[in-house]
Amino acid sequence: MKLFSLSAFFLFLNIFGFVTAANEGRLSYDDLLGAFISGKLDGPSGGSGFIEVSPVKHQDAARRDSYFKGISMITTDNYEKLNTVSQMFDVAKKHRAIGDMLYLYNIINQDGNTYLLKLDQTSMLASEVCNYLTTKNLHGTAELFKMTTNPDLEDYYKNFDNSLCVQKQKH
């Protein structure tokens, strides 16, 4: 993925001590995604504001995607993080990195609370993977692990226990 400037987010990263990946105020998409996944960027970033994520168009462009619906929300304590994540979501969408999109979309949906999205089978992310598979009528996570830029997400999706989705549907 290409580097993109996140100067508004740089102060936030500095506060959290994640400046080692900074190169003259620029951080790579991959570094940021990895920091969110690893939990290095947990906690509020500060600022309040309105966040809007446009719905993803379906491949035939006439319909909206059944999972990635639009999000419109006001955040009182996480604007900087959510604004950055929404920019990252747009980059992932442009490159059809579906596995990244699922993770980033849910950071936004959870108001930036990445601790809810740990890469394990009991987290809210596991529920959202099941929701995604059900919504898309898929029986496995191949689309997710083949279309992600992060090795940790790739491993998570590749080793995801699909039987969890069947168990969740029964309850």
Domain enclosing residue 72, as ranges = 3-170
Q: Each residue of 60-110: pLDDT tens digit? A: 544 567 898 889 999 998 999 999 999 999 999 999 999 999 999 999 999
Count how many domains the chain has. Answer: 1
pLDDT averaged over the chain?
Answer: 81
The model scores a pTM over 0.85 = no
Q: Which residues are within 8 A (CB) of 158 and not within 5 positions of it... i.e. 6 or more apart?
A: 141, 145
Helix (H) or strand (E) holding 66: none
CA atoms of 20 and 32, how far apart (whole Å): 12
pLDDT bracket for residue 58 (50, 70, 90) = low
For the chain, how far is it from start to end, CA to CA, in angstroms? 39
CA atoms of 142 and 146, how far apart (whole Å): 6
Residue 5 CB neighbour total at 10 angstroms: 12
